[in-house]
Structure 1
């Protein structure tokens, strides 16, 4: 069976790249100050805990105290009492600045550096900060609603998955605008889901997938509301 090719349009939309088939290349502004500051502030606690926790300085209980003061504890939303005023509220943000070690930290910060440029290019530095903060809150909310864990939850993964959610929404926008195939997008989301499942098994159920899901949903919703079309910016 032979099909007639469609005639080429005389004018192309200026905001859509012409070579969008399988790969969608969104604009990026890497290494902007706001992204670097977020990464630096997130790395600071781990650097301090690692240095002070050495045998030479003998502050071996410091990490345990950091978990108590900065971790997200589901119990504080119930009967437990915080060790300082407003801990119940502060933990919705503070947990994202604490990690279980350098591997955990590096993995998250590489993602922030990679995705931060895409977010800044689309919605600016203030938009990045707002998205990052809301997805951090969304990660905590997802963990609070879906997890039955009695231990602390830490890490910037909720914010990272929020950035991923916004990125994937913008990719969906670009593919739809360019009539590009959606299959690569859906396959990347399936791969992301499988990665979470593999990590959850490898970590014996200690992966806070609830925070990942909460952050991702907020990221998608934020992008859909603030940038409903390819031409929208903030």
Structure 2
């Protein structure tokens, strides 16, 4: 697939946004894990999910725990995870995708894409989810980063008159991944969040940087 220019060694220090998100997410989960080990976890984790998770019912007729909850949950859900494995997979993915986004549009561009896709993921879940369970995790934002990278790859390849097959192949792999995970998790995967994040990420990426890049590495 076609990606932005490779990182130079000096650019590694310019990843403050990724570091901040990873530290925050890990700090939240570490607090909940410690509470679990001290037998405070069931209540503390439940409280965190109750107040920070994304509850689609709050956009209908449910009573919120605090007045701003129907609005803040569009961001707070992305900093909560369902355990260490969920956190680890998402943070490794963030580090991988986020570096490529920063290489193209910098930390502020990455932040705009990340949080915009997080909101889009929440909107997708609100519009398409039918169950009462809450949704947590950074994957909506991560699919937004993936959508943004694919949008840029599409524009770059189209401008260079290169085949679009690598973009289509990557999109098909994302669809396949969701289907496999949905089956493996017995339908508990928040694919609606992934879809919403991906679509908003694609659109936002073309608004943040609509210009094609002609100096690219083929990986």
Instruction: Tell me the TM-score normalised to structure 2 length.
Output: 0.90
RMSD, matched Cα: 1.6
Note if contact 1:30-1:114 (Cα within 8 Å) is conserved in structure 2. no
Cα displacement string for residues 85-126 of structure 1 (whole angstroms, at most 9, x for unaligned residues) = 211111110000000011111111111111111111211111
* Contact residue 2 and residue 166 of structure 2 kept, 8 A: no
3-state DSSP of counterpart to 1:52: helix
Tell me whether 1:45 sits opposite 2:20 in the alignment.
no
What is the deviation of 1:138? 0.2
Q: Which runs of 5+ in 2 are unaligned?
A: 214-219
Structure 1 segment 98-117 matched on structure 2, within 5 A: 98-117=80-99
Counterpart CA distance in 2 for 1:192 and 1:115 is 14
| TM-fit CA distance, 1:225 | 2.1
SS of the equivalent of 2:155 reads helix
Match of 2:56 among 55, 74, 80: 74
1:30 and 1:116 in contact (8 A); partners too: no
Residue correspondence of structure 1 range 128-139 to structure 2 within 5 A: 128-139=110-121
CA distance in 1, matches of 2:150, 2:125: 22
- Compared CA separation, residues 180 and 153, structure 1 to 2 (3 A): same
Corresponding position: 1:140 with 2:154: no
Q: Which residue of 1 aligns with 2:177?
A: 195
Structure number having the greater helix percentage: 2
1:127 to 101, 109, 118: 109
Task: Give the 3-state SS of the residue equivalent to 1:180 in structure 2.
Answer: coil
Partner in structure 2 of residue 16 of structure 1: none
8 Å contact kept, 2:117–2:201: yes
Q: TM-score, normalised by structure 1?
A: 0.84
Higher relative contact order by CA 8 Å / sep ≥ 6: 1 or 2? Answer: 2
Please give the secondary structure, in 1, of the residue aligned with 2:188.
coil
**1:57, distance to aligned residue in structure 2 (A):** 4.8
Q: Unaligned regions of 5+ residues in structure 1, if any?
A: 1-22
Secondary structure (helix, strand or coil) at the match of 1:81 reads: coil
The alpha-carbon distance between structure 1 residues 49 and 227, as it changes in their structure 2 partners (threshold 3 A), is same
The farther-off stretch of 212-221 and 58-67 is 58-67
Partner of 2:67: 85
Question: Where do residues 12-31 of structure 1 align in structure 2 (5 Å cutoff)?
Answer: 23-27=1-5, 28=7, 29-30=11-12
Instruction: Look up the SS of the partner of 1:163 in the other structure.
Output: helix
Deviations, residues 64-88 of structure 1 (Å, cap 9, x unaligned): 1111011100111111111122111
Give the greater-gyration-radius structure (CA): 1
